[in-house]
Amino acid sequence: MTPDQNFGDGAHRADAYSPDTAARIMLRPVASSLPLGFLAFGVASTLLTCLQLHWVEVGSSHQLALLALVFAVPLELLAAVFAFLARDAGAACALSVFAGVWAGTSLLLATGTPGKPSPVMAVFLLTMVPVMLLLFVAALQGKPLFAALLLLGAVRFVLTGAYEAGAPAAVQTVAGWFGVALGVFALYGGLALILEDGASRTVLPLGRRGHARTSLQGRLSDQLRDTAREAGVRRQL
């Protein structure tokens, strides 16, 4: 039997060896890392709030910085890694940025003079504001709750950076109360995401829309439609 007889014709033979019929993409299910990211963010934000609102002595800034460094930073990094594995680039980038922000802030607090404003801290936080706003715009398309966390974080960075640059102490107080709001908001987000992941449906309002909503409420075929174009499957990033 000739090859043409075996496959019928050239077109049939080409189809038999086309990637669409021969390739198989294996996906490994992972748990959502967003709840961990939200909760770690909330704890770190609360630690900084305690210092800004003078709920603890100024001399305790080094200890608070070390707590944020050993608690929040590793958890944010872990959440970021699994967000990349879950193919959620937006969440992964934001969680990675959170880890970097808390690491940088903690190191500056731990090595600085307690209670003294730091121009270096001001530059660092104000530089992070445009990054947070870009992530906010990206998250707004599908995850409004996550976008709100990023926006609140950006406002707090502006206020804290302004104080570190020489603004009145009242600005630090306002930044601290923004930290309280961030902590509460992050706790709500973490709880809502944990309940959603356990029940496989939305329990507390999250405001999902677009692809974020389809990924939870749509069919499997809706999610796999563009898999071939995702990073890790396509040849180039």
Tens of pLDDT, residues 170-213: 999 999 999 999 999 899 888 888 888 877 776 777 766 656 55
The domains of the chain are located at 35-229
Q: Please give the share of the chain, as a percent, with pLDDT higher than 90.
A: 43
3 band by pLDDT with thresholds 50, 70 and 90: very low
Decide if 199 contacts 212 (C-beta within 8 A).
no
Among residues 62, 53, 67, 65, the alpha carbon closest in space to that of 160 is found at 53
pLDDT at 126 (0 to 100): 95
**For residue 29, what pLDDT band results from cuts at 50, 70 and 90?**
confident
Is the pLDDT at 21 greater than 60? The verdict is no
Average pLDDT over residues 95-124: 91
> Is residue 12 scored above 60 in pLDDT?
no
Q: Dig out the tokens for 15 from the structure.
A: 């189809």
Tell me how far apart the alpha carbons of residues 22 and 47 are, in angstroms, rounded to a whole number. 53
Q: Write down the pLDDT at residue 30.
A: 76
Q: Could you report the per-residue pLDDT of 111-147, keeping only the tens digit for each?
A: 888 888 899 999 999 999 999 999 999 888 878 888 8
Mean pLDDT computed over 227-232? 62
Sign, CA torsion 108/114/115/118: negative
